[in-house]
Amino acid sequence: MTKNKFKLQSHDCSLLECSIPGYLQQISTRVAFFIAGFGIAAWAPLIPYAKDRLGVDEGALGLLLLCLGAGSIITMPLAGALAARFGCRLMIWVASLLICVSLPFLATVASVPALVIALLLFGAAIGAVDVVVNIQAVIVEKASGRAMMSGFHGLWSVGGFVGAGGVSGLLWAGVSPLVAVLCVIVVIVGLLLAFGKHLLPYGSEEKDGPLFVFPKGMVLFIGFLCFIVFLAEGSMLDWSAVFLISLRGFDFSQAGLGYSLFSVAMTIGRLNGDRVVHKFGGKTILILGGICASAGIAIAIFITTWTASLIGFGLVGLGASNIVPVLYSVLGRQKVMPLNFAVSAVTTLGYLGILAGPALIGFIAHATSLSTAFLVVAVMLLIVAASSRVVTE
């Protein structure tokens, strides 16, 4: 690790000299992203079990699941200020342990009020982790002097695959939901114990400040672009299967192939993204990524074969894979807002895209058609491509 020093006001090293983040901090950042993806994905296979224990229908379950998003939206705007005051290390530790505390309740509670509380707590922890790991990622990438953000976000995707796949495998093998989440907790705590000491003890150049700053200028615009990309991701998650069933004649058992290809393409794109960004630059990635994702949706809509639809959804994942990492890298260079507040604001706006996206797609589809709703998303992705020069120069 480099011996260079810089001055930074923080929780553990206020006005003292702190080491510039090096290799160990890069590894700990990747592990933190893995934990974030792993933790939230572990919940997905537990949802049918929760529905069965509570005896609720799909509509009631959908309302309950909004509590997870509500918990995240509450903590995301505050997480940047808390990271500045207490440091990324403490915040990631606390939020990760809250994930571990809430998971057993999510696996066992049999009443609606108890599940609401557990989902709010779980969502709050997930929201805080998502913000703080991105704050650390921007600091570490900036210190390294090279593109690293795509790789960091790629580890989130890998964590999601391992979390969902691992818990699903345990449940398929006959393990109870409680035992399955205990295995998840062991993994998270083990990773924290092994790598948590290398997380950054600071989270901003300013320890004191307001708890929330409304985004402005370039930060607000970047947040809007993230909203579009996350809206596209949310549309793939919630509507790709419906599209394949209703418009391409897929069986219910096969309809998940669209989102699976989208996810695989996104993960591959992110794991290779740092080299691509280093070679071509962020501006080119935004242009080509936005066009590729938009073209993928257009292919799925206008070429009415099932193979074209699957290829199209894969292109959406590949095109969108590195847009958000590039936008987070831009946050590290902007001077409009302190880094911690900028990351909090952009993450919150992006997450709103995931929450509001499915409802927006549904509203447009009800008024027109699902193909038209997807076409609106494709046009919005072209806005991202057209904004590349404004954002990167």
Residue 232 inside a domain? The answer is yes
Name the pTM for this structure: 0.83
Among 161, 148, 64, 160, smallest CA distance to 106 is for 64
Q: Which carries the bigger pLDDT value, residue 253 or residue 92? A: 92
Contact 297, 381 (CB under 8 A): yes
Whether 162 and 250 map to the same domain: the answer is: no
If you ran DSSP here, which 8-state letter would residue 199 be given? S
Collapsing DSSP states into helix, strand and coil, what is residue 313?
helix
Whether 249 and 191 map to the same domain: the answer is: no
Report which secondary-structure segment, H or E, holds 6: strand 5-8
Whether 133 and 223 map to the same domain: the answer is: no
Whether 227 and 373 map to the same domain: the answer is: yes
Q: What are phi and psi of 71, to 5 degrees?
A: -60, -40
pLDDT, tens only, 181-226 = 999 999 999 999 999 999 999 887 556 556 667 778 899 999 999 9
Q: What are phi and psi of 18, to 5 degrees?
A: -120, 150
Whether 22 and 83 map to the same domain: the answer is: yes
Whether 101 and 236 map to the same domain: the answer is: no
Whether 268 and 153 map to the same domain: the answer is: no
Grade residue 339 by pLDDT with cuts at 50, 70 and 90. Answer: confident
* Integer Cα distance of 132 and 138 in angstroms: 10
* Integer Cα distance of 60 and 58 in angstroms: 6
Whether 238 and 176 map to the same domain: the answer is: no
pLDDT, tens only, 9-59 = 333 443 333 456 788 999 999 999 999 999 988 988 888 888 889 988 877
Whether 164 and 230 map to the same domain: the answer is: no
Residue 212 inside a domain? The answer is no
**DSSP output for 336-372:** SS-HHHHHHHHHHHHHHHHHHHHHHHHHHHHHS-HHH
Residue numbers of the domain that contains 383: 217-392
Residue 204 inside a domain? The answer is no
Residue 331 inside a domain? The answer is yes
| CATH code, 121 | 1.20.1250.20
